[in-house]
Structure 1
Amino acid sequence: MKKNLIFITTDHQRADTIGMIQNGKEVTPNLNRLASEGFDFKRAYTTCPLCVPARTALATGRFPTKNNVVINDLKNIPEITRNSKTIHEYLFENGYDVSHFGMQHITLKPALEDRVKFKRFLTDDDYEEICKRENIPLFGVAEDRVKVSERHGDICEDRQYTGSRVSLFEKPENLFRDRFYIDNALNYLESESFEKPIGMFINIWAPHPPFRVLKELMDRFPNPELPENINEICEGEPPKRREGIAAQLAEEKDLEHWKDVWRAYLGLTNYADELIGEIIEKLKEKGEYENTMFVFTADHGDHLGQHKMFQKMEMYEQSINVPLIIKMPEKNGVKIETV
């Protein structure tokens, strides 16, 4: 009998959050248990520390340069290769009921949703309808943006990027972005008959900035232990690196600011882990946990003030080392330390 596949990603989650202890408690207790039961890859690396290229590569198994998707653009890349087949298509062709919940950051022609007859396909477009109705800014407010100078070859232009500002999400939790995704995913699992194996893709937004956070998440890790190299420029750093976007986003931020950033980031990471736990429990309730293969990873990490940088883009460990856990039925847990 074919096994179900649950493929879960978060966004901006660093590899070192798996097994991390902050304020005396686990940041990712559910993922830690999944890692103990499966293959826990400690030296997994993103193909590109940018969301869209990394996610398109994950979907196709092809490097960003092979897909011609090397920038964060969902619609305007002119020469996307058309011969990149996705894991979604392989599953569908092999008799799986395929579904998708969460943001859709995979850039292909034809588009992903036009390649497969999804049993359920829920994305940011669906959440945006709630945002419009409830007056929720989908990608943050103007104060969340930072003006940076971005270079493309010989062209340098001003752009607005998401900065490290922390604020509270003051609407009810059921309107929170990832709560919306997971509630729909849980409802789908509840109604699923499992007459056919399922291929379920869940893309959790957390802990992606802007950090608009439920207050109780800010209170989960009130006094985070920060790495020693917060606001410390790397020894021997090339002079031009300060012109990079990650460096521009971290300018003039003090340690109290980064403490709040880490509180928000850890709270969101812990919340994402909690939601993953709900998916696991629902599968157990349906009697399908032991018949399910789990894959968990992230598109890339985040500097979070280390090397005086924020977001991703630069090739430091905290940006490119990603969590990767594969849990297979009837297999014992293995920690893999090699590249």
Structure 2
Amino acid sequence: MIIVDDLKPTLGTYGDTLAITPNIDQLALSGVQFDRAYCNFAVCGPSRSSFLTGLRPETLGILDNVTPLQSVLGDRITLPHLFKQNGFETIGIGKTFHDKDPSHEDPKAWNAYYKFQTTPLGSTGEQRNVTSGEFPWCYWQAAEGTNLDQQDGQVAQKAIDVIKTEREKPFFLAVGLHKPHDPFVAPRKYFDMYPIDDIQVPVLPKDWDRAFKHSLPGWHEVFDKMSLQDKKELKRAYYACTTFMDALVGQIIDALKESGQYDNTLIVFFGDHGYHLGEHGWWNKVTVYEEGVNAPFIMAGNSVKNKGIKSNAMFEFIDIYPTLAELMNLKNVPDYLEGESFASVVANPELSFKEAVYGVTMRGDMIGRMVKTDHWRYIEWDEGRSGRELYNQIDDPQEYENLAKSDSYYEEVMSRLSDSIREH
């Protein structure tokens, strides 16, 4: 299981013509690529806690990056813990749960866990903060040194060592790669692959404005002040970090092949949520728009008989837990899981799955809830008391025209979608 922080579908296999991601593109050709995979909360901590417990963020009680998993987990069994209970040797490397502090993790889930830090050399190099220092984290750095001078490079190397070590038990290996998460740091050679003149940023519709002040987090004004050069440099850095990550994924896949374990290993690769790179004038996550909640998801190797197939089946990240449990024939799967297994889609990618997916986000103490169907995305702020948003996913896939501001023509549609949110 390779979990990538803040990765949107900026991958060649997803149709991005700028991205240089040959290894992930090849992985997609070796399995099934899911184009409509949706996280349930577009922030690291809530998303990871949710899909690793199989519970919706509101059910679990983690709606921010501050609440520790251990404060709400109780006797629930996380996904890696279930593998451990089924006789697997479980190993975590890098960021799997939201690991700022051990209380955000599940120590019972692992036989071993490893973390690493960037070297002093890897912390040097040309850098610039594109917000003039207003956001200390929002800088890029074309770092000195090699891949191994970066934290992620060491994570990948440890994964390779684990893969090449003979063991008596089957293993569940979770590899958490941090990039392209901010700050946007990667070895210089990956920046050199993206000439700044090749970078284009989204152009917003004329006279467009966000639906409500709280449609985006309040700190969007800082991004509004960025120059075109700032935006191009930020996007370039994100892509450089993505290509760096792709190189590490390639090394891990190569290790599986060289050790003779590629054919008997199920490979699950995905981003923990999406990311905005200028869409809606926003350069971060924490939204319930398509850019925020859609993330790449690829399954290859063992249990995946179809190769090079792109599935249009729509699913939620809470569905990952029951799906892997079914594919790997795990016993004693908890009966409280809120997701559903899409193992049938893995076997036959042409099948459809869910008719709707759901997500939530927070603005201070106010919650925003979203439902997406083939035709619509509907958002309620504070159960509609602080506004509603409705977007036609067919005619307006970029989600710039809020139809909820129209007359009562769409009231029946919104009422039906609102009922659906309350049922979930």
Task: Tell me, yes or no, whether TM beats 0.5.
Answer: yes
Aligned residue runs from structure 1 range 278-317, under 5 A: 278-317=251-290
1:256 paired to 2:229: yes
- Is structure 2 residue 85 aligned with structure 1 residue 93? yes
Structure 2: 5+ residue stretches without partners: 315-424
Counterpart Cα distance in 2 of 1:15 and 1:32: 11
Q: 1:239 to 1:332 in 2, by over 3 A?
A: closer
What corresponds to 2:61 in structure 1? 68
Tell me the matched-pair count: 307
Question: How far is 1:228 from its partner?
Answer: 3.4
Distance 1:69 1:224, change over 3 A: farther
- Aligned residue runs from structure 1 range 145-156, under 5 A: none
Name the residue aligned to 2:311.
336
Distance 1:256-1:31 versus aligned 2 partners, 3 A rule: same
- 8 Å contact kept, 1:226–1:259: yes
Structure 1 letter corresponding to 2:233: D
Does 2:292 correspond to 1:319? yes
Bigger relative CO (Cα 8 Å, ≥ 6 apart): 1
1:111 Cα offset (Å): 5.9
Larger Rg: 2
Label 1:122 to 1:272 Cα distance change in 2 as closer, same or farther (>3 A): same
Matched letter for residue 313 of structure 2 = T
Match of 1:195 among 168, 193, 215: 168
Deviations 1:91-150 (A, max 9, x none): 1111111111112434799764421341x3112xx42xx65x77949xx99998965xxx
Task: Kindly state the Cα deviation for residue 335 of structure 1 after the two structures are TM-superposed.
Answer: 1.3
Q: Which of 24, 27, 39 does residue 32 from structure 2 map onto? A: 39
AA aligned opposite 1:162: W
Q: CA RMSD in A?
A: 3.0
CA distance in 1, matches of 2:52, 2:132: 29
Name the SS of the counterpart of 1:297 in structure 2: strand
- Of 139, 160, 176, 2:150 maps to 176
- Using the size of structure 2 for normalisation, the TM-score is 0.65
Give the drift of 1:250: 1.4
Report what 1:212 is aligned to: 185
Shift of 1:296: 0.8
Distance 1:224 1:64, change over 3 A: farther
Q: Is the 8 A contact 1:8 1:203 kept in 2?
A: yes
- AA of the residue aligned to 1:27: I
